[in-house]
Structure 1
Amino acid sequence: MSESDYNVDITKLFPEEHTRRTFAKVFDKNTIDLLHSLAGRGHFAQVEYPISTGKEAHVFRAVDHAGNFRAIKIYKIDTSDFRHMDEYLRFDRRFEHIKPERRSIVHAWTQKEFTSLLKLQKHAVNVPSPQVAKDNVLVMEFIGSKQGEAAPKLKDAHIGNISLFYEALVQNIAHMLEAKLIHGDLSDYNILVKDDMPVIIDVGQVIPTTHPNAKKFYERDLNNMLKVLHRHGLKELTFDDFYADIKKAKEGKK
């Protein structure tokens, strides 16, 4: 699509030409119109540039009229793996009646991530604070420096004190269990590091602890993170120790 194909002046919404080109290649007119509407309601003023790109979604840094940064996650309708999404949605009673077609499932997934962030935040899990979700767009807190530098993913981060990081990670997982939720895809790709502390992201696929495969997903999360923690220096940590530390934290003993 070219800039003339849109119903709005996108140069104000996307001041950088590179960002406009990215949108023209990846997102449809409906998404552009939706962003313009959300900007008009004051959720942000401009979309600046992508800070994370993936097959299913792009995350952009945005800024509001007061100069505060925001993160905007936009799911791609055409390339999202909606069958994979449907597997996670089908056991959530809120989305039992979603039509089995791509756009409806992606919209439901976006709403699920928004409500999951709210619930996790309520239970003291360190996640980005959600602001608004509509269709395939999620606006949330920007995780990074005051100068606007995005926090790195754990896979790219250097941890100054891995013991303190581990303690915080254990507490976050314990709080998730208190919320009766399991991440389901926890890895060093889905954790940001700010001030040497973990920030849990990409929670669209969280599942309730009552899910038929909850135990399998939980143990997979722990095994994934155990490998990451070994790479960061906790080479003596075992699965049983990790499991026990989370259990103690959940019971208030750690």
Structure 2
Amino acid sequence: MPVPAEYVRSLHAYELRILLALERLMRRYQWVPLEVLRPATGFSESELSYRLGRLMAMDMVRYEKVPYEGYALVFNGYDTLALHTLTRRGTIQALGTLIGVGKESEVCEAMGLGPVALKFHRVGQRSFQSARLKRGYMPEATHCPWIFASSISAKMEYDALKTLHPAVSVPLPIDLNRHVLVMSFIPGVDLVRATLEEPEAALDDILKNIREAYRLGIVHGDLSEFNVMVDEGQCWLIDWPQWVETSHPNAGDLLARDIENILQYFKRKYGIEYAFDEALARVVE
């Protein structure tokens, strides 16, 4: 669950300064030593200790003694920095309820100029290493905290949505800060939870969207019944952080897997037989 809204509202300016300092220093330190953090904030030892205590109580900062004593920003703190920035920009005005949890993200309703969705990217060690090895968009450096890996993931998805919208049925990207992507709210349900009245038409719609994305040079890379939304017969493709360009060495394999996942789902649930070779030819024609 993203950081509680009351924590963001109650944050003192001094505590915000500490979070910003930790974010900056964590690009050099896995755990920021107190003797480095103190001059970076300009606070006295007693003031810094008090503020760090509050931040740790809100689970925004973590303290560790191994391999050495230091402090690190964790996801609640990173959420706070992103929400603070998006609020100051006027992108969002209120944070709503949690509406979705995925392998690498959490999605909340929010209010901006209208209803929007906030996607908090949560890249963990396993998914980060997989992305680094298979897709090549993560940095090669050994030191990259998960908060920064999540920021890269969010930027990847934002870039994909900007390229795809409106030719492909995807959410409209509205704003981005750190690991939080703001996009249009898509009503409806996941394909896996839907009971379609016209499944053939839905399958046709999904394949059309895969084809349009391919024409724009993008392969989803992780498509299945869990990241297609259905609303009144229209299908929306969501969750794009693992996309690759069509020129990527793994693009063909990933495209084949995307298509196979969708075909197998419609065969399993609705008994629709659609030849893989025919579907692939339709997409890449």
Q: TM-score, structure 2 length as denominator?
A: 0.70
% identity of equivalent residues = 27
Q: Say which of 159, 162, 169 aligns to 2:206.
A: 169
Q: Residues 180-219 of structure 1: matches in 2 within 5 Å?
A: 180-219=217-256
- How far does the alpha carbon of each residue in 1:39-62 deviate from its partner, in whole angstroms, 9 at most, with x for none? 222111111111101342100011
Alignment-derived partner of residue 184 in structure 2: 141
Which structure has more helix as a fraction of its residues? Answer: 2
Distance in 1 of aligned mates of 2:124 and 2:207: 37
Cα offset for 1:30? 3.0
Consecutive unaligned residues of structure 1, counting only runs of 5 or more, are: 11-22, 145-150
Q: 1:204 offset after TM fit, Å?
A: 0.5
Alignment match, 2:84: 36
Whichever residue aligns with residue 114 of structure 1, its letter is Y
Distance verdict in 2 for CA 1:130–1:98, change over 3 Å: farther
- Which residue of 164, 176, 185 maps to 1:120? 164
Unaligned runs of 5+ in 2: 12-57, 61-73
Question: What one-letter code is carried by the residue in structure 2 that aligns with 1:53?
Answer: V
The alignment status of 1:9 with 2:46, answered yes or no, reads no
Aligned residues: 223
- Taking the TM superposition and a 5 Å limit, the aligned residue runs for 1:32-111 are 32-64=80-112, 66=113, 68-76=114-122, 81-87=127-133, 89-90=135-136, 100-102=143-145, 103-111=147-155
Are residues 142 and 24 of structure 1, via their aligned partners in 2, closer, same or farther at CA, if it must alter by over 3 Å? Answer: farther
Deviation at 1:244, TM superposition (A): 3.1
1:107-134 C-alpha deviation (Å, 9 max, x unpaired) = 1111111001101115x01000001111
Tell me the equivalent position of 2:273: 236
> Which entry has the higher C-alpha Rg, 1 or 2?
2
Which has the higher mean CA deviation after the structures are superposed, 218-227 or 95-104? 95-104
RMSD of aligned Cα (Å): 2.8
